[in-house]
Amino acid sequence: NAASVLFLIYVVLAGQVLICRNYKGDVDMAEIDHFMPLLMQHEEEGLVSPVISHGSVHFLWIKHSNLYLVATTNKNSNASLVYSFLYKIVEVFTEYFKELEEESIQDNFVVVYELLDELMDFGFPQTTDSKILQEYITQEGAKLEVAKSKVPTTVTNAVSWRSEGIKYKKNEVFIDVIESINVLVNANGSVMSSDIVGSIKLKTMLSGMPELRLGLNDRVLFALTGRDKGKTVVMEDVKFHQCVRLSRFESDRTISFIPPDGESELMSYRINTHVKPLIWIESVIEKFSHSRVEIMVKAKGQFKKQSVANNVEVRVPVPSDADSPKFKTSTGNAKYVPEKNLVVWTIKSFPGGKEFLMRAHFGLPSVENDEAEGKPPITVKFEIPYFTVSGIQVRYMKIIEKSGYQALPWVRYITQSGDYQLRTNV
Amino acid sequence: MQEWANQLCESRQFGSKMTDSKYFTTTKKGEIFELKAELNSDKKEKKKEAVKKVIASMTVGKDVSALFPDVVNCMQTDNLELKKLVYLYLMNYAKSQPDMAIMAVNTFVKDCEDPNPLIRALAVRTMGCIRVDKITEYLCEPLRKCLKDEDPYVRKTAAVCVAKLHDINAQLVEDQGFLDTLKDLISDSNPMVVANAVAALSEIAESHPNSNLMDLNPQTINKLLTALNECTEWGQIFILDCLANYTPRDDRESQSICERVTPRLSHANSAVVLSAVKVLMKFMEMLPKDLDYYGTLLKKLAPPLVTLLSAEPELQYVALRNINLIVQRRPEILKHEMKVFFVKYNDPIYVKLEKLDIMIRLASQANIAQVLAELKEYATEVDVDFVRKAVRAIGRCAIKVEQSAERCVSTLLDLIQTKVNYVVQEAIVVIKDIFRKYPNKYESVIATLCENLDSLDEPEARAAMIWIVGEYAERIDNADELLESFLEGFHDESTQVQLQLLTAIVKLFLKKPTETQELVQQVLSLATQDSDNPDLRDRGYIYWRLLSTDPVAAKEVVLAEKPLISEETDLIEPTLLEELICHIGTLASVYHKPPSAFVEGSRGVQHKRLPGSTGLGESLESPDTGSAAGGSDAPPAVIPSQGDLLGDLLNLDLTPPATTGPPPPPTSGMQLGAMDLLGGGLDSLLGGDLGGSSAMGAGFGAAPAASPASFSAPVSGGLDDLFDLGGGVGMPMGAYNPPKTVWLPAMKGKGLEISGTFARRAGIIQMEMTLINKAMSVMTDFAIQFNRNSFGIAPAGPLQVLTPLSPNQTIEVALPLNTVGPVMKMDPLNNLQVAVKNNIDVFYFSCQYPISVLFVEDGKMERQVFLATWKDIPNDNESQFQIKDCHLNSDAASSKLQGSNIFTIAKRTVDGQDMLYQSMKLTNSIWVLAELRVQAGNPTYTISLKCRAPEVSQCVFQTYEAVLKN
């Protein structure tokens, strides 16, 4: 069992309830009045937690822009289900109203109530696929009376993510393989941890109910089938969209599925192999109290010469009371972003093997800010197209539909920065 | 208003873009009238607009219940949107207008037969949300039809409706055979229907802890596993959570279920993954360790657990809390994954703290260098809680990984050099623990520690420093000066520091008697004469007596070699850990507490246990029978967490080894209060051999004063004062709770003495007991049960006596109670028969609870209702009592009674006589009305009680008497 009552609270100082739905009637609606004061108290004490309890009532909450989504329960509820569900609500409402915010809720409160009714029943999440929901809950209810007066069979089908009767003139599927590099480097330059999180996204424009099979250069698959040609990749962990037949993958590593229409994330994977940080940063930050900060940053592209990293951003933290910035760069632009206490050095195009330099100089006030500041790391953002750092490849995408049409798969590769942090000494 | 509505319609006709927000426009007086008119309009569109306005008002919290009949009139419409809005309104207000809710029944019945399945489902879904008992029976027929509906959308909705109905009227659901229909739905062809049926049955089973409602057998399990592959992600969670409650017959069945559940570990939804982990962790217990599959499974669990750390922060938090449990139960799963728990700068604080905790658990010789480098990095951050925890973590690493101790100590010294106040204090606390683990190894750092003495302002740090000074007094030249400096503000120190100072000075005295005689006299006098703290006095007297009777023995006792502290701290007690593993993913796993600790009314709910790898029967036994042995690997021994460690440390000096000899002979009445007490003892000590040779060991047994019972008499206040520590603490003002009385004398309890009382604290009834072990052997495995009683009082959880009760040990236990147990009328009405079990025997006794513990907090009746009820109750039900010798005025009496939830509704004064009208409500919703007459100057009160159940009057009167006279 999950939430007993679900509230959307919007935050002006007092924390007013914007809309709520009592699913089980076992928690007093007035309990929510305790939520904001408790949350603020915890924030003051620096002990924020995603679960707050008041007497026998527990509040499980997430924050989305200026809204708090709060589920309350007085049972031993499945907490991971509750949080997953809260995030799902954000997803569904965002797809319905573009933005989930105070205004969009008020402007659409009738639909919001209808959705809340369909998303969960008596604390059990029900249909949460927004594409399917849109088939029978629409924003212009009055006009489409006929269209939505029937339950789409999809709702209760085993294939609950794709409707029947979809038609495209040209049948195509676009596959994006996106790899994000997570790196944590210590101040002395040693790599503490690094991994690759990959994601395969689909944009499916296919008619009917197509059966798809995706082939990757997966080492386990190759070992199973006795093939050992070419480079293979070891995926440490794989996560699939609801549409993929998990037992089939478990038994013979085949990725087979009927895809959702339009855009979706088919799978994600994690690779543990140690990768050289693609953009290496060396920094010297010297802080002379009451006078100045001097920053020198060297960035080096540690990837193939033929590749180019685009939109590279090196974000270097500076003290909050720094002033009068001066920059010198060997390429690109450096900018001071005072509201974030950062210098952002942007390099539009960064070829592999190259090395660039940035120097910054800041003044410090003679009376120093005595509030202790943390030691934020240097972070880096970049994208390298036409290349995956792990070497993963889409070997084939088979598309079979009973009408027998020919469909084309298009594949794109990109490597980008994920959580890319380099600690500094200052 | 009318004009505004017209404009509204016009603007709609012109097709301008309008949104629902217009309905939120502030309303004026008389609006309800206008809405009423609009709701009854002939125009469909106008009606719908009006209903929307009503719902908008409802959303912003206005009371629009007055429109109930008008809104219900709009229910019969073929406009789906309008119908949904009306239903929404009904769900909100039906409970407050139960009589009018019946008006809606016909439409529900009709809608349940509508050709459109959306409408049928909508009706059955809403029906169940109308929590009005009166109308439920009308809904049975429509529900029965919907459970067999041809459309799966209707069936899946009807399945949930059974759970809703059960929540309102369980008996009705059973009588109507809905439970069987629900069980049949487990075999439904549609996976979503199966999933909802499973969810509904699980929910219902929760309130029937002992029924075999789910009837899980290999056939149903097979059906569930098949549906698992086909249903939505949420359905998968319902099914996995249900599977986790099943106990496979043997290891083969266990393996085959595991094999079919493992693919779920690849689901994108973290909640599916965690529920699958729960099933696997549980069923794994049954697999033989030498099985290849067992190893394979272990390997399969690590990657998905690690991936959970890339989920949203709240889900990460749940995952980390669970990983914390998993690492304790099966450390081998994640032993190579240390790096993924390294803290990132942008992690939320709750994630940081959890990661840190897991890092310490995974620390080993293989990874300690990396871990230490990380911890040092964290210790220079700015978030105080995080930094403190990081410093503590360094100390724990030192204790856990011996090879790293030296490096840890030098890291801690580096941190002390930073002079950041809280870092220094934290470091000193952990260095004390390191000294305990590696005595006589790192004293070279003491000098550095002493330099920071002045900056210590936290009790824990002060106590730790004092301990260090006392323990190494012989190597610190100015130990006496240091300790003396603390003594100046003795009374302003916390108990922790006072106790530690007392012990440290006694140690110092035993090591350097010549220079410190005055100091020890001073501290003993401060502790025994000027302190109100029985704990401190107690310890002071013991030292005093010990020093005065047998200084050699004192040395043996006080300076005895301490047992080393063990490696792991903060481990969860093994049976609790087993239970929590069964609750992976739930709030219990987040709080690290059993559900019974935070869910009201989880009476008699079985504490979940892991299935044993050998005898299955064991795990099915009642929860009271000790620990069902889990896997064959012995879980590490548990030692108390940091806080307790110090307490442990302090007591250490005093607790004689658990030798079982004859009880010490009572010593002659000594004048403990006298100042010259030390006289003789001191001389002999000073004259004696201070070398501490082993020959003196003989004197040890002759230190009878260490046995508390023997010297209690001369001390003011006696036993109670010294040992009844819990008695006066934490009593909220107002509520009167009777003092403890002996319920089970030691004679009858084979050495176990139980005294107790009942109290109502913050709305929770508690049975508060003092257990004393007067036998000579250790008592363990406590459990408690009640016989049926008049108000269904039952324990809300197991009796929590976590540590074994050693001879002469006293323990205070508070057992929360609820009132949902079986009911049987007792004589007297408030009699309770109790059975307490321990490893020795089962003991029975009866006790009586003051009926006031059953008075609920919302027992204040409305004036009007009070008047009507008073008239309504026949005069035969009225009883009169007199309370003599009561000298309170009526206001004082009223506020005193209010503390026990007896509420004064009105007061009238006629001819100098005050009449208080009062009400109270029992947990079983029986109301008692009272009229209390107080005449100025007359110590006799007259009280009249009226109640529909007059048998309670006698008990209520007793409560009045007890409250007013105490």
Q: Which residues of B touch A158 (CB under 8 A)?
A: 191, 230-231
Cβ contacts of A100 within 8 Å, gap of 6 or more:
A64, A65, A67, A90, A93, A94
Distance CA B650, CA B639 (A): 15
pLDDT at B913 > cutoff 90: no
Q: Which chain B residues in 748-777 lie under 8 Å from chain A, judged by CB atoms?
A: 762-763
Residue numbers in A near B232 (CB within 8 A):
126-128, 160, 242
Query: With 70 as the cut, is the pLDDT of residue A228 above it?
Result: no
Cis peptide bond prior to B115, omega within 30° of 0:
no
Q: Do A83 and B586 touch (CB under 8 A)?
A: no
Binary contact (A141, B81; C-beta < 8 A): yes
Q: Is A340 on the interface with B (CB under 8 A)?
A: no
Nearest residue on chain B to A50, alpha-carbon basis: B314
Q: Provide the b/e sequence for B633-662 (b: ≥16 CB within 10 Å).
A: eebeebebeeeebbebbbeebbeeeeeeee
Residues ≥6 apart with Cβ < 8 Å to A12? none
pLDDT at A366 over 60: yes
Report the alpha-carbon distance of residue A177 to residue B22 in Å, rounded.
45
Beta strands in B838-912 (DSSP E): 842-848, 878-883, 903-910
Which residues in A lie closer than 8 A to residue B342 (C-beta atoms)? 184, 192-193
For range A351-377, the mean pLDDT = 88
Tell me, what's the pLDDT at A141? 46
Smallest CA–CA distance from B45 into chain A, residue: A142
Running DSSP on this structure, what letter comes out for residue A218? Answer: B
| Closest alpha carbon to B330 in B585, B615, B578 | B578
Interface contact flag, A46 B384, Cβ < 8 Å: yes
Q: Is the pLDDT of residue B364 over 50?
A: yes
Task: Give the confidence band of B1 by pLDDT, cuts at 50, 70, 90.
Answer: very low
Chain A residues with beta carbon closer than 8 angstroms to that of B202: 1
Residues of chain A positioned with their CB less than 8 A from the CB of B275: 78, 80-81
Contact B358, B322 (CB under 8 A): no
In angstroms, how far is CA A207 from the centroid of its own chain? 29
Which band of pLDDT confidence, cut at 50, 70 and 90, is reported for residue B78?
A: confident
CB A5 within 8 A of CB A20: yes
User: Which tokens in the block code for residue A214?
Assistant: 């995706």
Q: Given an 8 Å threshold on Cβ–Cβ distance, is B380 in contact with A375?
A: yes
Average pLDDT over residues A50-77: 92
362-381 in A: which are within 8 Å (CB) of B?
372-377
pLDDT confidence bin for B244, thresholds 50/70/90: very high
Size of interface A-B (CB pairs under 8 A): 263
Contacts 24+ apart (CB under 8 A), B589-595: B589/A79, B589/B318, B589/B321, B589/B322, B589/B325, B590/A51, B590/A79, B590/B317, B590/B318, B590/B321, B591/A51, B592/B321, B592/B324, B592/B325, B594/B797, B595/A75, B595/A76
Question: In this complex, which of A76, A158, A421 lies closest to B583 when CB atoms are compared?
Answer: A76
Task: Give the gap in angstroms from C-alpha A320 to the nearest C-alpha of chain B.
Answer: 14
| Alpha-carbon distance A334 to nearest alpha carbon in chain B (angstroms) | 23
| pLDDT of residue B544 exceeding 60 | yes
Model confidence at A83, pLDDT cuts 50, 70, 90, reads very high
Smallest Cβ distance to A46: which of B131, B157, B349?
B349
CB distance B804 to B937 below 8 Å: no
Select from B51, B83, B587 the residue whose CB has the most chain A CBs within 10 Å, as the one to mutate to test that interface.
B587
Ramachandran category for residue A324: left, alpha or beta (phi over 0 → left; psi -120 to 50 → alpha): left
The amino acid that residue B614 corresponds to is: T
Q: Mutating which of B83, B345, B355, B603 best tests the A interface, going by the most A Cβ atoms within 10 A?
A: B345
Q: Which of B226, B258, B318 to mutate to test the interface with A (most CBs of A within 10 A)?
A: B318
State the average pLDDT over residues A21-26: 86
pLDDT at B567 (0 to 100) = 64
Q: Choose among A107, A122, A127: nearest Cβ to B163.
A: A122
CB contact under 8 A, A113 and B307: no
Chain A residues touching B301 at Cβ < 8 A: none
Distance from CA of B52 to the nearest CA of A (A): 8
**Which of A267-276, B102-111, B314-323, B333-342 is the most confident on average?**
B314-323
Chain A residues near residue B266 by CB distance under 8 angstroms: 237-240, 246, 249-250
pLDDT band at residue B806 using 50, 70 and 90 as cut-offs: confident
pLDDT tens digits, one per residue of B515-539 = 888 899 999 999 988 888 888 999 9
Residue with tokens 């790898």: B613
Judge if ipTM > 0.90: yes
| Residues of A (212-271) whose Cβ lies below 8 Å from B | 236-242, 245-247, 249-250, 265, 267-268, 270
Question: Which of A42, A81, A105 should one mutate to test binding to chain B, selecting the residue with the greatest count of B CBs within 10 A?
Answer: A81
Comparing alpha-carbon positions, the chain B residue that sits nearest to A63 is B314
Query: Quick check: A73 and B591 CB within 8 A?
Result: no
pLDDT in tens, B214-242: 778 899 999 999 999 989 999 999 999 99
- Interatomic CA distance for residues A317 and A295, integer angstroms: 10
Distance from the A278 Cα atom to the nearest Cα atom in chain B, whole angstroms: 19
**How much is the average pLDDT of B621-632?**
38
Instruction: Give the one of A76, A109, A247 whose C-beta lies nearest to B20's C-beta.
Output: A109
Q: Do B587 and A76 touch (CB under 8 A)?
A: yes
User: Which residue among B266, B306, B588 places its CB closest to the CB of A240?
Assistant: B266
What is the Cα–Cα distance from B942 to A48, expressed in whole angstroms? 54
DSSP letters, A67-103, are: EEEEEEESS--BHHHHHHHHHHHHHHHHHHHSS-SHH
Whether chain A has a CB inside 8 Å of the CB on B313: the answer is yes
Query: Which residues of chain B have a CB within 8 Å of the CB of A197?
Result: 310
Contacts of B129 in chain A (CB under 8 A): 25, 122
pLDDT value at residue B19: 62
CB contact under 8 A, A50 and B81: no
Q: What is the mean pLDDT of chain A?
A: 89
pLDDT score recorded for residue B751 = 86
Two tokens, residue B145: 């039809």
pLDDT at B484 over 80: yes
Query: Does residue A327 surpass a pLDDT of 60?
Result: yes
Report B:139-168 residues touching A (Cβ under 8 A).
151-153, 156-157, 160, 163-164, 167
Which chain B residue lies closest to A20 (C-alpha atoms)?
Answer: B59
**Alpha-carbon gap, residue B748 to B843, rounded angstroms:** 8
Q: How many CA atoms lie within 13 A of B371 on its CB side?
A: 32
The answer to whether the Cβ–Cβ distance between A186 and B339 falls below 8 Å is no
Min Cα separation B271/chain A (Å): 5
Instruction: Confirm if A74 and A26 have CB atoms less than 8 A apart.
Output: yes
- The predicted pLDDT at position B664 comes to 40
For residues B953 and B264, the model is more confident at B264
Across-strand partners of A20? A7
Q: Would you state the pLDDT for residue B590?
A: 97
Q: What is the mean pLDDT of chain B?
A: 81
Chain B residues in contact with A78 (beta carbon < 8 A): 237, 241, 271, 275, 585-586
- For A10-19, A235-244, B322-331, B583-592, which range has the lowest pLDDT when averaged over its residues? A10-19
The CA–CA distances, whole Å, from B386 to B310, B318, B343, B381, B604 equal: 21, 19, 11, 8, 39
Which residues of B are less than 8 Å from A419 in CB distance? Answer: 344, 346
Query: Does residue A417 sit at the B interface (CB-CB below 8 Å)?
Result: no
Residues of A in contact with B196 (CB under 8 A): 121, 124, 126
pLDDT tens string A181-205 = 999 999 989 998 899 999 999 999 9
The answer on pLDDT for B104 being more than 90 is: no
Predicted pLDDT of residue B574: 87
- Find the Cα–Cα–Cα–Cα dihedral A77, A80, A82, A85, rounded to 10°: -150
Average of per-residue pLDDT across B549-559: 85
